Structure formats: C-alpha cells, structure tokens
Amino acid sequence: MKSIVWFREDLRLLDNAALTFAAAQGDIIPLFIYPESLGGASYWWLHKSLESLQLDLAKSGVELIFRTGDCVQIIEDLVVETNANNVVWNRVYSPSGIADGKRVKSALNAKKVGQRSFSGQLLIEPDAVKNKQGLPFKVFTPFWRHCKQVLAPERPLDVPELTPIIEKPASEKLAEWGLIPSTPDWSQGINDRWQPGELGASERWETFLDESIDEYQQGRDFPSKPVTSYLSPHLVFGEISPRVLWHDLHDRIALGTVDADNANKFLSEIGWREYSRYLLFHFPHITESSFNKKFECFPWQNNDQLLQAWQQGNTGYPIIDAGMRELWQTGYMHNRVRMIVASFLTKHCLIHWSKGMDWFWDTLVDADIANNTASWQWIAGSGADAAPYFRIFNPILQGEKFDKEGGYVKKWVPELALLDSKYLHKPWEASPEILEQAEVELGLNYSYPIVDHKEARLRALAAYSQSKELSKFN
C-alpha cells in the first residue's frame, strides 16, 4: 500500500491520525498544497512550520512534496505519478476546507482510489454535539458542559515509523514560495518571539505547565505577566494536538501535580476554540454577516482615519496603542488587550467588526478563521452568546485595572515610559509640568485621544438603540 498524506492544518508527526494510519499501511508520500489567502504574519509562521515538518520527515528519509494549484488536480496528478492507491488527511472545519475535502473525496471515489479522513484538530467533532432539541448549541456554557460529559478522547498516537518511497515526485521549493517577507523584512520582532514547529510547540507547552498553569486563572488577565500559554499559533497550524493538552492535564489532575481549577480554566479556553469551530461548522455564513440578524441594520460609521489610527496604535489611549503595537511588532496580542482594542474599534469608533477582523487576519500569527469570526462578533455583540452591546470597555479603567504598574504600556509605548502611573492611562489629564518632566508632548510625540470616551460611549449606545428600532421593521 502506498498513501498520499495530505497535510493541511496538522503540521506534526505526534498524534497525527492520518499519518499514523497511512504509515501502518506501507509507504507514505506527504503533500502540502500552497494555501491561498492567508494573512502576512500567518505566511511567515507557515514557512517556519513547514521547514520544521520537512526536517522532521527528512530524518526518516521522507520528502515533503510542495505543490501549488487546485487540490483536486494536484492530488489526482500525484496519484497517477506515484501509483498511490490511497489518500488520507485530517479534517479541517472552515467552509473552504470542508469544500476542498468533499471535492477531493468525490474525485477519488470516481477514480476508485482509496481515501479516508480523520479527526485531528478537535477534541470532539462538530456534528457530534447537539442540544436536547437536536439543534446546535448557541451558548457556550451548556455546549461545554455537554462536551465535558461526553468527552473521552483517545490517548495520543505515537510518532509512527515512516518508510520513504524510492521514486521522487516533483516538488516545488518551499523557499521559492516567498512566504517570508524580504522587502521590507518586517519579521524581526516576530522571529525573536516565536519558535514555530512541532518542537517549539511541545517546548512551549512544557514551559507553560512548569511555570504558569498554576497561576493561570488569576494571571491570564494581566498582559504584563507571561501567564498565558502562547499556544494559539501552534494550535492553528496543528503543531500540537488538543488531545495531548487534554490528557496531559487530566493526568496531572489525577496525580495532584496541577491545581484542578486552573487546569479546568485552561481547558475551558480550549473549549472556546472547539466552540468557535463548532459555530462556524453549523453557521458558515458568520464570516460574512452577523449571527444576530438585529445587527444587519447597525449604523456603522467606518471612518478611515479612526481605523488607521487604531491600526497604527495612535489612538491616544495607552492600553489600546500598546496592544496594537504589540500586534504589529510580534504578530500577537494578549487576550485581555484583544478584547479592549476590539471593543474600542467597534464601539468607540463605530467601525464594523469585519474591518477589525481583516486587520487581525493579516497581522496575527495565530489568525484563525473560526476564532477570528466568533471573537469579533462576540465583542461587537452580534455573535452567538455575545457580550451585550452595552458592555463597553472603558480603556482607562481597563488599563488601570489590568496594567496598574504600567509594565505593558511602557514596554510597547516607550514615549510614556517616564510618566507617573497615576496618569499613565490618561496622559491628557496630567498637568503640563508633569508631562514636561516625563518628556511627553501631547500632539507631538504622543497623540491626544482620537475620541472622547464619554461621548463615544453615549454615541455607541445611541447607535445601538437606533439599530434596535430599525430592526423592528425588517
């Protein structure tokens, strides 16, 4: 038996069901097809992750084949070229990923070539979870409560023994895909911060277990503390399997070597990841339009100047600007700060959540269609189980609450580094003497607030009630 292993969002050898199945049958031909329309930061990550996978496979003498084009055509061609009699892959759950899988499946069936798909990205398949009425859950808490009752993921699979094929099918060169930025090379900050690939992923997980998980529940909200797992980009590309996380934590809970509350809090965040894929699977239109139809009439303003100030981290609100600059420089933003900047864009600036989603898509190394969609709609108030629209984050209070000492703001907005923490989150309220002493010149080296918080809040609430009125007539 000779199998093509079609890698997509599962760039790992450990606990890779499709790979293990194929390896047990005989020879394998690993294939990766150039993905259209990723964001810039994701392409950088993808390049590094593929390099890592390529090296890991090469240790067994197996060559990863790179090709560009339509997946059906490529796979059909490769079947003919290699005489493969089987094609396997792990399922993905985005609308385009599902469509590709279906097309490949029927093309192979038509040609009487064996094919099989596996679960590898989620703890539980989206179509396996329904509420008592047989409908998809629309609220996270009952969804996750139900999952926890029925979840019994299998133990992770070992890295399989791989047998290379003798013949060498043609492959494009990864380096020639041009995924790494060159002119200009903006990837330095990202490069310093991350180690993409399966090894980087497992090391990050070990570090998190050793150093942070027991403070997770409290510490995860403070952006100056490195208490989050930083696993998100590794999970997006499938460099680590959620089953590994689940079993590692459950083993430790059983042994008493991890605090159960903290471990369960982390697992519920994994639950949110499952939930966002689940929602996208059952409601694929939500990448384009509001989950909650009431928001179809929302009077968005979409002011380009405000959007640009937000993107560049020049809003005059230190916590917002710190977050946006962290994103730009490292491809990542702390979760707490993501909520604050997203609330600011949609509510203070009245800019449609899709504009924020597009920016995150291009700049985040962990950009993920399901999480991005679900989270932006959640914060905008239009999503499933969403934050109510009137829940408007106050960027000053949030800064004072979660970055009291200002470690986070001072790191990413160095022009405020000398400012007393009393005024750090509202520099416009400091006296001219204090500003001068801190070498802050508002309007020159740091922006005035682009909107007034109180006014913007009232405007957002007015827009909300206007939208409620309008939706009555639809």
Partner DNA sequence: TGAAATGTTGGGGCG
Partner DNA sequence: ACGCCCCAACATTTC
Terminal-residue alpha carbon distance, the chain: 58
Pairwise CA distance, residues 182 & 126, whole Å: 40
Three-point CA angle 241, 242, 245, nearest 5°: 100
Pairwise CA distance, residues 198 & 473, whole Å: 53
- Cis ω on the peptide bond leading into residue 432 (within 30° of 0)? no
Pairwise CA distance, residues 474 & 472, whole Å: 6
The number of helix segments (H) and strand segments (E) in the chain equals 20, 5
Choice between 31 and 424, CB closer to DNA: 424
355-394 binders of DNA (CB under 7 A): 387-388, 390-394
Residue among 400, 144, 404 nearest 279 (CA): 144
**Minimum CB distance to DNA, residue 471 (Å):** 16
Decide if 353 is catalytic.
Answer: yes
**Minimum CB distance to DNA, residue 293 (Å):** 21
Decide if 335 is catalytic.
Answer: yes
Choice between 98 and 397, CB closer to DNA: 397
Contact between 397 and DNA (CB under 7 A)? yes
DSSP state of 446: B
Tell me the β-bridge partners of 33. Answer: 67
Count the site residues for DNA by CB under 7 A. 21
Q: In angstroms, what CA-CA distances link 346 with 161, 210, 292, 444, 468?
A: 50, 38, 16, 27, 16
Contact between 93 and DNA (CB under 7 A)? no
**Minimum CB distance to DNA, residue 272 (Å):** 6
| Sole window of 38-46, 130-138, 358-366, 450-458 interacting with DNA (rule: CB under 7 A) | 450-458
Among 119, 171, 335, 421, binds DNA (CB under 7 A): 335
Decide if 239 is catalytic.
Answer: no
Query: Any alpha helices (H) in 331-388, and if so which ranges?
Result: 335-343, 353-363, 369-380
Among 2, 282, 401, 468, binds DNA (CB under 7 A): 401
Site string for DNA, 267-306 (x = CB under 7 A): --x--x----------------------------------
Among 105, 138, 265, 453, binds DNA (CB under 7 A): 453
Pairwise CA distance, residues 204 & 200, whole Å: 6
Decide if 211 is catalytic.
Answer: no
Pairing label, strands 27-33, 2-7: parallel
Site string for DNA, 108-147 (x = CB under 7 A): --------------------------------x-------
Q: How many CB atoms lie within 10 A of CB 154?
A: 10
List the catalytic residue out of 186, 215, 335, 400: 335
Q: In what order do the strands lie in the sheet with 27-33?
A: 65-67, 27-33, 2-7, 86-90, 114-118
List the catalytic residue out of 300, 303, 314, 428: 300
Choice between 96 and 217, CB closer to DNA: 217
Placement of tokens 């150039």 in the chain: 34
Tell me the β-bridge partners of 81. Answer: none
243-272 binders of DNA (CB under 7 A): 269, 272
Decide if 89 is catalytic.
Answer: no
**Minimum CB distance to DNA, residue 339 (Å):** 5
Pairing label, strands 65-67, 2-7: unpaired
Choice between 75 and 270, CB closer to DNA: 270
List the catalytic residue out of 353, 359, 361, 412: 353
**Minimum CB distance to DNA, residue 420 (Å):** 21
Contact between 463 and DNA (CB under 7 A)? no
Say if residues 171 and 50 touch (Cβ distance below 8 Å).
no
Tell me the β-bridge partners of 4. Answer: 29, 87
Query: Any alpha helices (H) in 232-352, and if so which ranges?
Result: 232-236, 242-255, 260-282, 304-312, 318-330, 335-343
Q: How does DSSP assign 152-169, residue by residue?
A: -PPPPPPPPP----SS--
Among 209, 339, 345, 384, binds DNA (CB under 7 A): 339
Contact between 461 and DNA (CB under 7 A)? yes
Contact between 228 and DNA (CB under 7 A)? no
Choice between 339 and 365, CB closer to DNA: 339
Choice between 52 and 228, CB closer to DNA: 228
List the catalytic residue out of 51, 125, 269, 400: 269
**Minimum CB distance to DNA, residue 38 (Å):** 25
Site string for DNA, 42-61 (x = CB under 7 A): --------------------
**Minimum CB distance to DNA, residue 410 (Å):** 20
Decide if 154 is catalytic.
Answer: no
Pairwise CA distance, residues 413 & 446, whole Å: 9
Choice between 297 and 463, CB closer to DNA: 463
Among 457, 459, 470, 471, binds DNA (CB under 7 A): 457
Pairwise CA distance, residues 372 & 154, whole Å: 28
DSSP state of 291: S
List the catalytic residue out of 45, 310, 376, 412: 376
Residues assigned a catalytic role: 269, 272, 300, 335, 353, 376
- Which residues contact DNA (rule: CB under 7 A)? 140, 269, 272, 335-336, 339, 387-388, 390-394, 397-398, 401, 453-454, 457, 461, 465
